[in-house]
């Protein structure tokens, strides 16, 4: 039996099959998470407001996402008249696929990674930018004034937040010296003070860079308090206003897939990936614990802070985050280079 299993394992890890297995696993993981993060969000929203959240569909409302999906699927997929049909249809897919592609390079544990490539980090950011374009195209092709306002907001917001995020990531790349995510996690092996978050002897502002990364991640995924793209109380449903049924559903799932990706990336870059702080349990468990803690924090933040004003949002990025991240970049550059210049 074990021999048979190891043979099967060996067979599946040969090249073309490994790819298919990774693809299916990622699709399943993203699908299940996108569905159940909605449940987490609603349950969390309920708890933060001292109410029980969904309780009727299944135990503790666990069947609620399935009920929601069935409802969305039973709705007519409308394309409004005189819109750009191709772009209108393509936008949800363009939002969903980058998150799926990017998860292929996220190392869930030492072995559990879709494809360990050297430019993993770069690839994630390359595909991450498509996300913005998808919302923009979705809003723009909807031929709806709210959707267009939302598109304009999304573009300026994402341009503003991409800069500090990339500056922070460049800081990190300067410290780690690689864009291979597996190697970045390997460098954080050992006790928890080896995590990039706490490596203050490399750069005293490491916790600040994590904070900037997290804030930018919230803004990039259009999460509250930066949910300008889908400002329900101002813009109907923002860029998604004209989408019905599963068109909207895919946008919604993609939003959660992007949160998942952002939290995974934060875990890999700052929280030591699969490394356990106390040395028990397999790595993948620790990875998921850290990631879901960040996901919970995202929900927690959403139900704590009101939406920022648009000027406040841009001011935060251009006046605070970008200067601070530039400063950390310079500081870590100096701290990496100066010891080499002055002997030692």
Partner 1 sequence: MIKLIREIVGGLYSLLVGMRITIGQFFKPTVTVHYPHEALKMPPRFRGHIELVLDPETGKPRCYACKVCEKSCPSDCITVDGVKFEGAKRKSVTIYKLDFTRCSLCGSCVEACRDGAIRFSHDYNMAGLSKEEFVIDLFKKLEDETRAAGGMPFLPPVAAGPAEPAGGGALPGAGGAAQRSRAEGAAVEPNQTEVK
**From candidates 11, 17, 305, 318, binder to partner 1 by CB under 8 A:** 305
Q: Give the angle 294-298-303 at the CA atoms, nearest 5°.
A: 145
Q: Is 270 left (phi over 0), alpha (psi -120 to 50) or beta?
A: alpha
In the stretch 317-336, what mask flags binding to partner 1 with x, by CB under 8 A?
A: ---x----------------
Where residue 208 falls (left for φ over 0; alpha for ψ -120 to 50; beta otherwise) is alpha
Q: Which is nearer to partner 1, 36 or 303 (CB)?
A: 303
Sorted by sequence, the CB contacts under 8 Å of residue 67 that are 6+ apart come out as 57
Yes or no: say if 77 and 247 are a contact pair by the CB < 8 Å rule.
yes
Residue 70 in the binding site for partner 1 (CB under 8 A): no
Binder of partner 1 out of 49, 74, 76, 233 (CB under 8 A): 49
Nearer to partner 1, 99 or 324 (CB): 324
Q: With respect to partner 1, which residue has the nearer C-beta, 29 or 48? A: 48
Tokens of residue 34, six digits: 């996108």
Least Cβ distance, residue 72 to partner 1 (angstroms):
25
Residue 48 touches partner 1, criterion: CB under 8 A: yes
CB of 128 to partner 1, least distance (A): 25
Pick the binder of partner 1 from 304, 309, 337, 338 (CB under 8 A): 304
Q: Does 292 bind partner 1 (CB under 8 A)?
A: no
* Least Å from the CB of residue 198 to partner 1: 18
Of the two residues 6 and 304, which places its CB atom closer to partner 1 in the complex? 304
Please, what is the minimum distance in Å from the beta carbon of residue 48 to partner 1? 5
Footprint of partner 1 (CB under 8 A):
44, 46-52, 55, 211, 300-301, 303-305, 320
């Amino acid at each position: 039996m074990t021999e048979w299993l190891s043979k099967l394992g060996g067979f599946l890890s040969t090249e073309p099959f490994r790819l298919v297995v990774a693809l299916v696993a990622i699709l399943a993981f993203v699908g299940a998470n996108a569905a159940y993060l909605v449940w987490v969000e609603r349950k969390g929203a309920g708890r933060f407001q001292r109410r029980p959240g969904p309780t009727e569909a299944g135990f503790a409302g666990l069947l609620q996402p399935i009920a929601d999906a069935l409802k969305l699927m039973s709705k007519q997929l409308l394309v409004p008249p005189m819109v750009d049909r191709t772009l209108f249809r393509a936008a949800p897919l363009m939002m969903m696929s980058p998150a799926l592609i990017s998860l292929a390079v996220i190392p869930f544990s030492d072995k559990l990674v879709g494809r360990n490539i050297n430019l993993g980090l770069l690839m994630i950011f390359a595909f991450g930018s498509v996300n913005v374009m998808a919302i923009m195209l979705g809003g723009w092709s909807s031929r709806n004034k709210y959707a267009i306002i939302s598109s304009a907001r999304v573009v300026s917001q994402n341009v503003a937040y991409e800069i500090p995020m990339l500056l922070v990531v460049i800081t990190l790349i300067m410290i780690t010296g690689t864009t291979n995510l597996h190697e970045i996690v390997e460098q954080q092996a050992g006790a928890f003070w080896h995590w990039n978050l706490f490596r203050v002897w490399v750069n005293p502002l490491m916790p600040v860079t994590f904070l900037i990364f997290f804030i930018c991640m919230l803004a990039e995924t259009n999460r509250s308090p930066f949910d300008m793209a889908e400002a329900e109380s101002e813009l109907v449903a923002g860029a998604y206003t004209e989408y019905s049924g599963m068109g909207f559903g895919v946008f919604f799932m993609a939003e959660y897939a992007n949160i998942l990706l952002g939290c995974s990336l934060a875990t890999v870059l700052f929280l030591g990936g699969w490394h356990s702080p106390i040395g028990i349990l397999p790595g993948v468990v620790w990875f998921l614990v850290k990631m879901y803690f960040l996901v919970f924090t995202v929900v927690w933040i959403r139900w704590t802070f009101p939406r920022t004003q648009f000027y406040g949002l841009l001011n935060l990025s251009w006046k605070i985050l970008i200067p601070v991240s530039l400063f950390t970049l310079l500081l870590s550059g100096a701290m990496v280079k100066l010891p080499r210049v002055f002997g030692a």
